[in-house]
Amino acid sequence: MDEKILYRGAEAEICLSKYMGRTVVQKKRVKKVYRIKDIDTQLIASRTKEEAKLIAESRSYGVSVPLLYDVDLAKGIITMEYLAGDRVKDILNSLKDAERKQLCLKIGESIARLHNHDIIHGDITTSNMILLDDRVHFIDFGLGCKNSETEAKGVDLHVLMEAFESTHSKYAQCFSYVIEGYKKQFSGDASAVMKKIEDIIQRGRYR
């Protein structure tokens, strides 16, 4: 099959492709012509490696993510499982109330599992979650990192809060279900993370 570009961003292209007989997704980091070539190559390699590492680690901690098939650091390509499910962004508003609540609880539990091991996703939105086989799969760890600070965990959750308010404004209470799931699974001081979210909200108000 010919490659099909699913998404083209400033940092990467996401393509549907074939790999060893399987339909796969390939994330290809974009070369930056304005950067010195050697530096660009190093940056692409290190970011590709970091993202692949975060995906593999997340799976080992019980968070659903795509399976990794191949990581090419020189070309900046991650070849991974194609998840033939629904983006949470596309289905959340049309679910029944009880289903929506269950989904949000699961999202919160998964974020807590990431945070328990200091994995910060960096772009937690409903666009970066795919529901498949009744499991929420997290995709696109391109802005992710390892960070043990409460601030980073608060920022991670605040990004999702804003996504709910903008994309799912009719169901903004969904975020409170996410927090409920998060508190149930988080092994650290959840109240400190909640306080940090409040701080971030206040900062935004007084900018």
Q: Identify the CATH number of the domain in which residue 38 sits.
A: 3.30.200.20
> Tokens at residue 139, please?
């995709």
Same domain assignment for residues 35 and 102: no
Report residue 32's pLDDT band, with 50, 70 and 90 as the boundaries. Answer: confident
Per the structure, the complete domain to which residue 199 belongs is given by: 86-205
Same domain assignment for residues 90 and 64: no
Phi, psi angles (nearest 5°) of residue 78: -110, 120
Q: What is the mean pLDDT of residues 157-182?
A: 93
pLDDT at 36: 87
Same domain assignment for residues 77 and 91: no
Residue pair 158/119 in contact by the 8 Å Cβ criterion: no
Active site amino acids: 123
Same domain assignment for residues 104 and 77: no
Residue 163 has pLDDT above 70, yes or no: yes
- pTM (two decimals): 0.92
pLDDT at 207: 46
CB crowding 23-59: b at 16 or more within 10 Å, else e: ebbbbbbeeeeeeeeeebbeebbebbeebbbbbebbe
List, for residues 115-141, the tens digit of each pLDDT value.
Answer: 999 999 999 999 999 999 999 999 999
The number of folded domains in the chain is 2
